[in-house]
């Protein structure tokens, strides 16, 4: 099911994400993810992609910082950063619009909410919420709210 490349000729970037994927192999299997792609380089990066019936995720090592990009399989065009999806989930749970949040609450949405050495931890913690907000039933609403979120975020970060 999973290919953990043990070839010594692979870069340290690919070895690092292989090691992390191996740590989460049971979780990946439980969610029925299969490896669909792996790339080593060029340059200072690597990626592993996994897919199940709902999502395709890309575990990216960019200069030894790890990120997850998430692609809902029902939409072939869009990919979302795990960090922004978690921010949206936090916003939904506040039951407020972005503009209604206090300054402290806004900062809380933007604090780094992904461990750059282990983004899988939060991915699996928020997995069910991610599936829900990216499902076909909620996708249009999520996309619209993400656009509003980015627009409001821009106004807040870069006031006139």
For residue 24, CA distances in Å to 7, 17, 99, 118 come to: 20, 11, 37, 10
The pLDDT value recorded for residue 98 is 79
Planar angle of CA 136, 61, 121, nearest 5 degrees: 60
The pLDDT value recorded for residue 50 is 97
Chain-centre distance of CA 68, in angstroms?
4
Top-ranked range on mean pLDDT: pick from 13-17, 109-113, 125-129, 144-148:
125-129
% of the chain exceeding 90 in pLDDT: 44
The pLDDT value recorded for residue 147 is 86
In the block, tokens 């983004």 appear at 119
The pLDDT value recorded for residue 130 is 96
The pLDDT value recorded for residue 6 is 52
Instruction: Tell me which of 103 and 73 has the higher pLDDT.
Output: 73
Instruction: Tell me which of 156 and 131 has the higher pLDDT.
Output: 131
The pLDDT value recorded for residue 10 is 66
Task: Please confirm whether the linkage preceding 70 is cis (ω < 30° from 0).
Answer: no
The residues facing 55 across adjacent strands are 72
pLDDT at 159 over 60: yes
The pLDDT value recorded for residue 112 is 60
Residue 88 in any domain: the answer is yes
Q: d(Cα 74, Cα 137) in Å, to the nearest integer?
A: 11
Q: d(Cα 154, Cα 69) in Å, to the nearest integer?
A: 21
Residue 6 in any domain: the answer is no
Residue 143 in any domain: the answer is yes
Residue 75 in any domain: the answer is yes
Residue 117 in any domain: the answer is yes
Domain count, the chain: 1
Residue 160 in any domain: the answer is no
What pTM was computed for the model?
0.83
Residue 147 in any domain: the answer is yes
Average pLDDT, the chain: 86
Report the greatest alpha carbon distance in the chain.
53
Structural domain harbouring 111: 12-155
pLDDT at 60 over 80: yes
156 CB-near residues (< 8 Å, 6+ apart): 98, 106
Top-ranked range on mean pLDDT: pick from 4-18, 41-55, 92-106, 119-133:
119-133
What mean pLDDT comes out for the span 102-124? 81
Residue 5 in any domain: the answer is no
In the block, tokens 């994400």 appear at 17
């Amino acid at each position: 099911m999973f290919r953990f490349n043990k070839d010594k000729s692979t870069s340290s970037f690919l070895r690092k994400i292989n090691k992390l994927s191996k740590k989460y192999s049971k979780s990946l299997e439980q969610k029925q993810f299969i490896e669909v792609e792996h790339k080593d380089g060029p340059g200072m990066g690597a990626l592993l992609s996994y897919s199940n019936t709902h999502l395709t995720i890309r575990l990216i090592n960019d200069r030894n910082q790890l990120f997850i990009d998430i692609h809902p399989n029902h939409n072939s065009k869009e990919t979302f950063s795990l960090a922004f999806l978690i921010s949206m989930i936090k916003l939904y749970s506040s039951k407020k619009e972005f503009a209604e949040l206090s300054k402290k609450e806004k900062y809380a949405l933007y604090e780094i909410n992904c461990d750059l050495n282990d983004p899988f931890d939060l991915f699996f913690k928020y997995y069910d919420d991610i599936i829900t907000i990216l499902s076909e039933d909620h996708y249009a609403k999520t996309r619209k709210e993400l656009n509003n979120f980015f627009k409001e975020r821009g106004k807040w970060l870069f006031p006139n």
